[in-house]
Amino acid sequence: MTAVTRIKTAIIGCGAISDIYLQNMTSRFQILDLVACSDRHQDRADAKAAKYGIKSMTIDDVFADPDIQLIVNLTPPLAHYEMVKRAILANKNVYTEKVLAVTYAQAKELIALARDHHVLIGSAPDTFLGAGIQSGKRAVDEGLIGQVTSVHVAVNRDMRHLYNPHSFTGKTGGGIGFDVGVYYLTALLSILGPVAEVGGLAENFHPDHTIEDPASPLFGDKFTVENENMMVGYLRFKNNVLGTLHFNSDAIWPEQPAVVLYGREGILALPDPNRFDGQVRLYEKGALNPIEIPQNFGYAKNARGLGAADLAWSIVNHRQPRASAEMAAHAVEILNGILAATKSGQRQTMTSDFVIPKAMPIGYLGDYFGRSEEAALALKEE
């Protein structure tokens, strides 16, 4: 059996999203040696550490520990710039929850700083690495719909009963585009590559909120949501594919996700990019019914942390991570470009670029739980 090099890793941020990361990173990805977690509320870090059998540390101690090679940052979006920058200055590789930063200027600065310090940055979302979107990517790459000419993505939510004055979803960087739309945008970028220019509108039609749930301890509290609850936009990709975005959190539940790629020979409907699984459907020219595309990739269950595992393999193999900082920064520039277009009424030219991430290894359909080290090596194909 081939020995697997393990990267000593620590999590910063023990909020709601941390459990799935902790679960996967302690049992699913053998490349990751998760040794510690931390949080600005020490009691939360203590509870998660006890639950998952790892060490509880302060945030300062994580940055100071010379043995920790990779930090997984799960703090709210407004804290991402500070935490990622601290990790880089501590000469540690870092993988962060989305978005990389709330402004493109911050994201660009972090990328330059990481290059100077010879460390890697990766960023969520990593759902595009799952079986659903990877199956769609393969269908496009193999020409099943011919030349792609246009794309459309849409998602709806009803945030009226989920907003609260303490949630990041009401703050800058937590609106429908940055919090949810980025999954859809990243799926497109991972298949079609960078965008040349954007335009659109973003609005906050109902900024004033009151907690209406009588079971909530905050019942009756009034507060203001500071970000967009509606974002619509258009994209011109560098390959001249045209695209539209429609993100609406002033609608209803459940979500009705749409990711559709239109080609000269067919149409491809992709699954919810906020998930790792989902069926890909091909509508061929002249056919009345769609064809369900077989899935030949692993990670069809919730595999959050997969991007961090791929980044760890990148450290070992001296390559760029698939969930790269460059692609994440490009997504941030696009989202902020739509905000800028809202104010100016003019389309915005994108200045950033990235390399389309290499497809995931094909042919392994297992879930990696309890699998051999050889199975985990599927990520080490380079």
Rg (CA), the chain: 21
Q: Which strand (E) or helix (H) includes residue 134?
A: helix 131-141
β-strands 93-96, 121-123 pairing: parallel
> What pTM was computed for the model?
0.95
Residue by residue, DSSP assigns 148-170 as: EEEEEEEEE-BGGGT--TT-GGG
Amino acid 375: pLDDT: 47
β-strands 32-38, 266-270 pairing: unpaired
Side-chain-side CA neighbours of residue 215 (13 Å): 1
Sorted by sequence, the CB contacts under 8 Å of residue 254 that are 6+ apart come out as: none
User: What is the dihedral angle through the alpha carbons of 53, 311, 173, 177, rounded to the nearest 10 degrees?
Assistant: -120
For the chain, the farthest-separated pair of C-alpha atoms sits apart, in whole angstroms, at 62
- Contact between 55 and 30 under an 8 Å Cβ cutoff? The reply is no
3-class DSSP state for residue 345? coil
Helix (H), strand (E), coil (C) string for 73-88: ECCCHHHHHHHHHHHH
Residue 127 per-residue DSSP state: G
Sorted by sequence, the CB contacts under 8 Å of residue 106 that are 6+ apart come out as: 81
Side-chain-side CA neighbours of residue 78 (13 Å): 11
Q: Which strand (E) or helix (H) includes residue 38?
A: strand 32-38
Amino acid 379: pLDDT: 54
Each of the 382 residues of the chain gets a pLDDT tens digit; together they read 456 689 999 999 999 999 999 999 999 998 999 999 999 999 999 999 999 999 999 999 999 999 999 999 999 999 999 999 999 999 999 999 999 999 999 999 999 999 999 999 999 999 999 999 999 999 999 999 999 999 999 999 998 877 889 899 999 999 999 999 999 999 999 999 999 999 999 999 989 999 988 888 999 999 999 999 999 999 999 999 999 999 999 999 999 999 999 999 999 999 999 999 999 999 999 998 999 999 889 899 999 999 999 999 999 999 999 999 999 999 999 999 999 999 999 999 999 999 999 999 887 554 443 343 334 445 554 4
Sorted by sequence, the CB contacts under 8 Å of residue 325 that are 6+ apart come out as: 100, 107, 110, 111, 114, 120, 121, 122, 123
Q: Supply φ then ψ for residue 160, to 5 degrees.
A: -60, -30
Domains with residue ranges and CATH for the chain: 7-125+302-324+351-379 (3.40.50.720), 128-293 (3.30.360.10)
CA-to-CA distance for 246 and 257, rounded, in angstroms?
10
For residue 302, which of 19, 6, 14 has the smallest C-alpha distance? 19
Residue 304 per-residue DSSP state: T
Q: Is 44 exposed, middle or buried (0-12, 13-18, 19+ CB in 10 A)?
A: middle
For residue 323, which of 302, 309, 337, 303 has the smallest C-alpha distance? 309
